[in-house]
Structure 1
Amino acid sequence: MDLGAGAEGSLVAAIAGEPDQLDPHKTTAYFSFEVLENVFDTLVEPDENLQMRPALAKSWEVSPDELTWTFRLRENVTFHDGSPLTAEDVVYSYRRIIDEQLSNVDKFSAVTAVEAPDAGTVVIRVSRPTPNMLTNLGGFKGMAIVSRRNVESGEIATNPIGTGPFSFRGQTSGDSITLRANPDYWGGAPSLTGVTFRFISEPSTALSALQAGEVDWTDSIPPQRVSQLTEDESLTVAVTPSNDYWYLALNQARAPWNDVRVRQAIAYAIDRDAIVAATSYGTAQANQLAIPEGNPWYTSYDRYDSGGIDKARELLAQSGASPRTMDMLVTTDYPETVTAAQIIADNLAPLGITVNIRTVDFATWLDEQNNGNFDMLMMGWLGNIDPDDFYYAQHHTDGTSNAQKFSDPEVDRLLDAGRVETDPAARFDDYARAATLIADQVSYIFLYNPSVIQAWTPALQNYQARRDGAVRFRNATLDTDGET
């Protein structure tokens, strides 16, 4: 039976870009995770309130000294190729991330051993208390349990095999990826027969396809249309506050961006409200830190609210630097970056800085970021839950996503302390102080917290837009007798 686009009971979802790759341990692209969230599982996972719940692990316990975590696996879980899931698969998945130093290796910084005493038990030993262990192992960002055979054959790059509610069926480069329902899914077979993810980068095109019934769901929505669409009874529209954030990063391996006064000058000159208006039409919240208001880890901060261009000129004069050009790296795959870049260019022109906007595809953007070939770049950080997710990889000297080469001993100390502090009030204080220093020292110029904006046909039921941006179709149903 063909489970491609248009098949009965099969969902067609429009996403804004093509996954850069299908190996969940190696990708950092949101487009990849949108697809792979439905193919792979994690040991534990966040519910709709971002509280960690059982997934492949049905239960767990922590030793009194908080140095040993023991997870009991569900019985009778199989990979999509029919092979059984065992504790050895979990050990292999985690050791792969650790041994190959993959993108989430920092989440295992305290781990001294990952063991499988029997087929149904995983033991993780740590060198220090790890209050965020569950959030480190859960979520949808790169912590999937993979099949050793799938990895070692190299097929994970083109035919990923997981334990999730949908299995990979095929990919047409530049067009779509198709999944089919996994009838043996441990959480119960999905109601949908499959999901086809179409790549539609232009939001107005995706919206037109949704309105025409060519697709059933999309998160590629023109933000200027949101207010109007919420009044449209022919669609279901969700605008959900998120824990994501968008930021600018200045390359501190290059002069003059290695001078904190120059970075602060840029931070004072940036008009966040104008960027929010242009990129999200009021659906986002300008913010000078990563964590949004309403989140229990929120810290108030408004240093860059006043002073503007005058303060920026003063700081540049103090530094003795007079930058004339800035190479700004943005990507067409995230149109927000292209839109914001022109505003930023206008913001910095009064300082005598000409911003040369370099617009590339996302794969090139990643290469240029990783090679340090930029003066400034703009990007978002998605799917955050614990404060460690917001800060460690990005701002610790040894962080795996510290492309801007920021290093501050006190920030390192506070981020290290937050990873082991079990007292909630003390841990909050560690992160509040770290966040303030990160903004003061301008590791990032934080811009805003966006909302998760999605729309779908009313025929799609039992689907929920989530604050962490995870796209889960496992429980969704599609009324094929109604109009779609």
Structure 2
Amino acid sequence: MARRSLGRWLALLLLGGIGLAPSAPRAQTLTAVLEAEVVTLDPHFTTAYISRTFGYMVFDTLFGMDRSGTPRPQMVESWTTSPDGLTWRFTLREGLLWHDGTPVTAADCVASLRRWAPRSALGARLLAATASIEANDARSFTLTLKESYGLVLETLGTAASPGPFMLPERLARTPGTERITEIIGSGPFMYRREDHRPGDRMLLRRNPRYNSRPEPNDLFAGGKPVRIEALELRVVPDGLTAANAIQAGEVDYMQYAPFDLLPRLERDRRVRVLGFTGLDTFTGHYRTNAATGPFSDPAIRRVLLRLVDQAEVMAAFGLSSQYQRTCPAIFVCGGPYETAVGSEVARDPSIEAARAALRATSYNGEPVIVMVANDLEAARISSEVLANRMRQAGFNVDMQVMDWASLLARRTRRDGWHVFGVHAIGIDLQSPITNPFVAFTCSGIPASGYHCNERLTALFDAFTKAPDQAARMRLIEEMQRLIYSEVITLPWGQFAQPALHRANLRNLVPSAIPVFWNVEK
């Protein structure tokens, strides 16, 4: 008996049953390894992608973005707009409940929008155009604008981080600079503190009160039926360990499959490699610093236009063609604002042409610091490729290697760096208002690289007031010409970071932001 008890204890330990509150049956629990541990549970507090993923599981939104990028009603049942476009009245669906069983009210949503908006690029734009936002009754509220704003629904349904997630009013009154201390949403999964072991795992249980929409699911829009009893998020920092766990059947889903293991994983019939396209792919950029040294001269920055070879960067990743592509669009290929306008000079990279262009500038051999993040594979490879090509073109390159946290800290300085490689997901990059590589120009915020082009900021303002897609597209083209001309940022390629899952999962929503409604095990 003692020996059988010890064996049972070891089995429970391997399956993760020790240390959490009693869980759902293992057969109905989906175990996932995400990009990182969920540390910040407040969905408004941070732009971290992992907190956005947690947000979609536990909270809900007024509108949800479908796969085409169109906002669709989610918590909202209906809305009306005045002829002048300045007054918007929204009515919530009946039967929406918080996880504690209390009804969702319009006052909750108004308080949530007021807390979220200042912390979001799009939300802040909407807030600046707003005269008032007030609850009318338990299920409806009115947004009154003081000036034209053409992206009301796009803002309320944005998937950019941080997302416009709804909270109970008593929690939404917490200042945005402080984290909420109680995690209660109205989304498809429920969080309980006793189910969370920081540094190890978190168990999210199916919300039995969730009022799913009746129409079929379309990414963050439509119905979100939960067909599993629980979602277990395990912390497994090592990619090889997580991939081996999936192959062994100990884990069901892995958000980022290691690039170097893809050929082996694609041959394993027990698992499926899930590639992505369009807004679910990542686009890499070289971020430049306009505040100091030789790169304060736009002519010297423009040498990069003749130097950066997207095909060479992508080849250095070792990815097959199905997972990568070259892309000149600042606002991503496969998105609503894809265009090649302005990129003409960057289409035929050449070391010789770059060398000649550099000789024609005022460059006098000053050191150019290329920062390399050694703990992010794509950022490291892209920066190393750039540093090598810059040396060949005649730059005096000082390649400084550090971890990503140190790189971000260095980036806040006006000096001590000139360029580095980074990447972000298309969902955030698709709009000039949410694209962090260009949105902060003239702001003085370190993320801007201390660039300032007043014409570009005027185009951003015009974009939010444009009446339709055609007008916005004309503005996008002018923006892109300016961005390329000033080399505010420069794309180095677009790629998918494939996910990995067990072959027995059915109806998994294909999304680079992992969501676990609809899936069956």
**Equivalent position amino acid for 1:196 in 2:** E
Asked if the contact 1:207–1:220 (Cα under 8 Å) also holds between the matched residues in 2, the reply is no
**2 CA distance for matches of 1:62 and 1:401?**
38
Aligned to 1:179: 204
TM-score, normalised by the number of residues in structure 1:
0.87
Cα gap change, 1:153 to 1:427, in 2 (>3 Å): closer
Residue 470 of structure 1 is matched in structure 2 by 513
Question: C-alpha displacement at 1:296, in angstroms?
Answer: 4.0
- Give, in whole Å, the separation in 2 of the partners of 1:69 and 1:438: 34
**Correspondence for 2:221:** none
Task: Find out whether 1:26 has 2:38 as its counterpart.
Answer: no
What TM-score do the two structures reach when normalised by structure 2?
0.81
* 1:359 matched to 2:405: no
Which residues of 2 match residues 102-117 of structure 1 at below 5 A?
104-106=123-125, 108-117=127-136
Q: Report the 3-state secondary structure (helix = DSSP H, G, I; strand = E; otherwise coil) of the residue aligned with 1:261.
A: helix
Give the deviation of 1:44 after TM superposition: 0.2
Matches within 5 A, 1:430-469: 430-451=475-496, 453-466=498-511, 469=512
Residue among 352, 357, 372 paired with 1:310 = 352
Q: Which residue of 1 aligns with 2:326?
A: 286
1:221-261 superposed Cα distances (whole Å, 9 cap, x missing partner)? 12344455445432233212132422121122223322212
2:205 aligned counterpart, secondary structure = strand
Unpaired runs of at least 5, structure 1: 479-484
Distance 2:39 2:122 in 1: 14
1:217 match = 253
- 1:239 partner letter: G
Q: Which residue of 2 aligns with 1:264?
A: 302
3-state SS of paired residue (2:32): strand
- Kept in 1, the 8 Å contact 2:37–2:235? The answer is yes
From the CA coordinates, give the structure whose radius of gyration is larger: 2
* Amino acid aligned to 1:387: S
Aligned partners of 1:401, 1:285: CA distance in 2, in Å?
29
1:147 and 1:162 in contact (8 A); partners too: yes
Secondary structure of the structure 1 residue equivalent to 2:250: coil
Per the alignment, do residues 29 and 259 of structure 1 end up closer, same or farther by CA in structure 2, a change over 3 Å counting? same
1:163 aligns to 2:186 (yes or no): yes
Distance 1:256 1:305, change over 3 A: same
Mapping for residues 49-448 of structure 1, pairs under 5 Å: 49-98=68-117, 104-106=123-125, 108-140=127-159, 141-142=161-162, 143-150=164-171, 156=179, 159-170=182-193, 171-187=196-212, 190-226=226-262, 229-243=265-279, 244-279=282-317, 281=319, 282=321, 283-300=323-340, 301-321=343-363, 322-328=365-371, 330=373, 332=375, 334-350=376-392, 351-362=394-405, 364-370=406-412, 374-382=417-425, 383-384=427-428, 387-389=431-433, 391=435, 394-395=438-439, 397=441, 402-448=447-493
Task: Give the 3 Å change call, closer, same or farther, for CA 15–302 of structure 1 in structure 2.
Answer: farther
Matches of 2:513 and 2:440, distance apart in 1:
26
**Equivalent pairs, count:** 474
1:11 maps to which of 30, 33, 46: 30
- Structure 2 residue aligned with 1:481: none
For the residue of structure 2 that corresponds to 1:37, the secondary structure is helix
Cα distance in 1, alignment partners of residues 318 and 168 from structure 2: 40
Distance in structure 2 (CA, Å) of the matches to 1:238 and 1:299: 27
- C-alpha offsets along residues 53-82 of structure 1, whole Å, 9 cap, x if unaligned? 111112222221111222111223222233
Q: Which residue of 1 aligns with 2:6?
A: none
Out of 300-309 and 391-400, give the one that drifted further. 391-400
The 1-side partners of 2:98 and 2:110 are apart by: 15
Structure 2 partner of 1:482: none
**Which one is further off, 204-213 or 286-295?**
286-295
Distance 2:284 2:338 in 1: 16
The CA deviation at 1:159 is: 4.8
Worse-superposed segment, 41-50 or 401-410 = 401-410
Distance 1:11 1:126, change over 3 A: same
Alpha-carbon distance between aligned partners in 2 of 1:203 and 1:120, rounded to the nearest angstrom = 46
Change (3 A) 1:352 1:51: closer
Deviations 1:259-285 (A, max 9, x none): 212222234323322221233613121
CA distance in 2, matches of 1:109, 1:316: 43
Deviation at 1:327, TM superposition (A): 4.5
SS of the residue 2:465 aligns to: coil
Closer, same or farther: CA 355–308 of 1 in aligned 2, 3 Å: farther
Larger deviation, residues 385-394 vs 212-221: 385-394
Tell me the percent identity. Answer: 24
- How much does 1:415 deviate? 2.1
1:308 CA drift (Å): 2.8
Structure 1 residues 385 and 263, CA gap change in structure 2 (3 angstroms): closer
Query: Cα RMSD over matched residues?
Result: 3.0
Deviations 1:195-236 (A, max 9, x none): 122233443332222111111011211234445544543223
* Distance 1:56-1:393 versus aligned 2 partners, 3 A rule: farther
